């Protein structure tokens, strides 16, 4: 072997050895489970679509999302309260505008997947309304991600005036919170990113998840309540801040356009009928 040939071969051998000794990197997000977490029935859809659908009955879905990441389990939203499963006629709010149902407790759905509440290392909610925080008290051992403005609405000095269901958070007062002021990359690898989208509530947030096969998915929370609302830039008039809501919606539409993300509208029951439900999963 000539000296020149050996000199050319050595770098190639070194590269092959390095590749052979480097273990394959598992995908950051391995899979996502979509869990049915109740339904909300209304007799007047126009409350969510101002000026349209007056007197039209509608059934909203309600979903929780369990993410298996290489670093552990993360739950996004916790649905209607499990205790509603004992109420076959549901629970109607004081204003009479909506009746909430929970056919199957979230705790049971998790158990079927071999997951206990204590196994949820990371927990976040799009916001604190009762149909998203109904089972928050199951997760005091989790690291909880909440926008600082939302945390203030729930735990601050004037929380009693916020209109939030404070009983849903009683067991979280000693929990580990990560208080956010904007977007946050949960695992530091770009696979699960919380997007600050205030307006529906002071600290509403969405979640961008990078699935290994399907690609990016945007979980909307209550940024909008229907695919129709997403397509037509409709936000409810009862939101905490309507102009802010419209700004957040515009920002997420721009994000979806740039990333090619599929947009999953939490409460759109028809859209979610086509998405596999737990115990099946999405990759």
What's the chain's Rg over C-alpha atoms?
22
Q: How far apart are CA 168 and CA 161, in angstroms?
A: 15
Q: Which tens digit of pLDDT belongs to each residue from 67-113?
A: 999 999 999 999 999 999 999 999 999 999 999 999 999 999 999 99
Burial of 119 (0-12, 13-18, 19+ CB in 10 A): middle
- Residue 127 banded pLDDT, cuts 50, 70, 90: very high
Report whether pLDDT(10) > 50.
no
Residue 24 DSSP label: P
- The pLDDT value recorded for residue 40 is 98
Half-sphere exposure of residue 105, counting CA atoms within 13 Å on the CB side?
14
- Say if CB 230 and CB 186 are below 8 A apart: no
Domains by residue range for the chain, with CATH: 27-272 (3.60.15.10)
pLDDT band at residue 3 under the 50/70/90 scheme = very low
Provide the pLDDT confidence category of residue 1 given band limits of 50, 70 and 90. Answer: very low
- pLDDT for 22 equals 36
Q: What's residue 13's pLDDT? A: 39
For the chain, the residue count is 283
């Amino acid at each position: 072997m000539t000296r020149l040939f050996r000199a050319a071969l050595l770098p190639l051998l070194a590269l092959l050895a390095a590749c052979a000794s480097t273990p394959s990197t598992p995908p950051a997000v391995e899979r996502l489970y979509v869990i049915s977490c109740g339904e909300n029935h209304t007799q007047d859809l126009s409350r969510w679509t101002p000026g349209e659908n007056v007197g039209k009955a509608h059934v909203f879905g309600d979903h929780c999302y369990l993410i298996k990441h290489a670093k552990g389990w993360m739950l996004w939203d916790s649905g209607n309260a499990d205790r509603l499963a004992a109420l076959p006629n549901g629970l109607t709010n004081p204003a009479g505008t909506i009746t909430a149902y929970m056919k199957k407790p979230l705790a049971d759905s998790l158990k079927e997947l071999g997951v206990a509440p204590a196994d949820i290392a990371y927990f976040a909610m799009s916001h604190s309304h009762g149909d998203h925080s109904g089972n928050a008290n199951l997760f005091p051992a989790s690291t909880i991600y909440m926008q600082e403005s939302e945390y203030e609405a729930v735990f601050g000095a004037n929380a009693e005036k916020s209109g939030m269901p404070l009983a849903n958070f009683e067991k979280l007062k000693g929990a580990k919170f990560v208080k956010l002021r904007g977007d946050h990359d949960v695992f530091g690898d770009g696979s699960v990113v919380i997007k600050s989208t205030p307006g529906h509530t002071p600290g509403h947030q969405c979640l961008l998840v990078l699935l290994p096969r399907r690609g990016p998915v945007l979980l909307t929370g209550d940024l909008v309540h229907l695919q129709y609302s997403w397509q037509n830039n409709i936000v409810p008039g009862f939101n905490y801040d309507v102009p802010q809501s419209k700004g957040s919606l515009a920002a997420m539409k721009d994000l979806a356009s740039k990333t090619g993300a599929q947009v999953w509208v939490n409460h759109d029951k028809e859209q979610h009928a086509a998405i596999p439900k737990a115990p099946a999963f999405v990759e």
